[in-house]
Chain A
Amino acid sequence: AQRVTQPEKLLSVFKGAPVELKCNYSYSGSPELFWYVQYSRQRLQLLLRHISRESIKGFTADLNKGETSFHLKKPFAQEEDSAMYYCALSGHYGKLTFGQGTILTVHP
């Protein structure tokens, strides 16, 4: 079975502070991992995927197979980063499993 855990439901930081959203996964094969973002009243958007190793809006995420983690990081948070963030794992036959989500609030 594939499972994604985001231990923090809520995360608050001040503008300019570093932010890390935690994600742990459970999967027997080689996972494909993603971060999605949902801004208020909008659809989910793909933020980044681990295989591309790219940085989007200053966010990065490194896959740590030893710790089965895929934490999302940004060195300097901005107010416009306030949103719901979902970690997701793509396994067999395109089944995409999401974590419970973390609501990030960046205070001015």
Chain B
Amino acid sequence: EAQVTQNPRYLITVTGKKLTVTCSQNMNHEYMSWYRQDPGLGLRQIYYSMNVEATDKGDVPEGYKVSRKEKRNFPLILESPSPNQTSLYFCASSLEGMGGYTFGSGTRLTVV
């Protein structure tokens, strides 16, 4: 089944403890992206990637890192999480970039 898989689905962590949210797609898509969803603010792009070793900042990149060493994986790294990063995170991928994206199920992160 064609899909975007995120792990974990739920995560509670403490301020300052480094964490990684994984994202993997099995559709050989070139474009991948991370979003956070917050009430009243909608979806905001954190980082996106056009291909392996090609990433760029989105609208809210502060406090996040990404890497794209393989086409299928696009992990989101929080080096020192803070409570304002408590949010629902979505990973998405697209074949041609200008087309529609397929979204993962989301990761609900709580930083205390």
Contacts and interface: CB of A to CB of B under 8 A. Distances in A.
B98 A32 contact: yes
B64 interface: no
Contacts of A55: none
Interface stretch (B20-28, B38-46, B73-81): B38-46
Contact of B56 (A9, A90, A93, A98): A93
Nearest to B54: A93
A25 interface: no
A32 B50 CA distance: 17
A45 interface: yes
Contacts of A101: 42-43
A29 to B, nearest CB: 11
Given A9-B40, A49-B99, A43 B45 contact: no
A98 B101 contact: no
Interface residues of B, number: 29
Nearest to B33: A96
Count chain B CB atoms within 10 A of each CB in A32, A86, A93 and give the residue with the most.
A93
Interface string A92-107: 0111111111000000
B41 A100 contact: yes
A97 B101 CA distance: 11
Contacts of B58: 95
Contact of B48 (A6, A9, A93): A93
B85 interface: no
A100 B58 CA distance: 16
A52 to B, nearest CB: 9
A34 B40 contact: no
Interface of B: 30-31, 33, 35, 40-45, 48, 50, 56, 58-59, 90, 92, 94, 96-106
Given A46-B100, A96-B48, 5 more contacts: A43-B105, A45-B103, A90-B97, A93-B56, A100-B42
Interface of A: 6, 9, 32, 34, 43-46, 49, 86, 90, 93-101
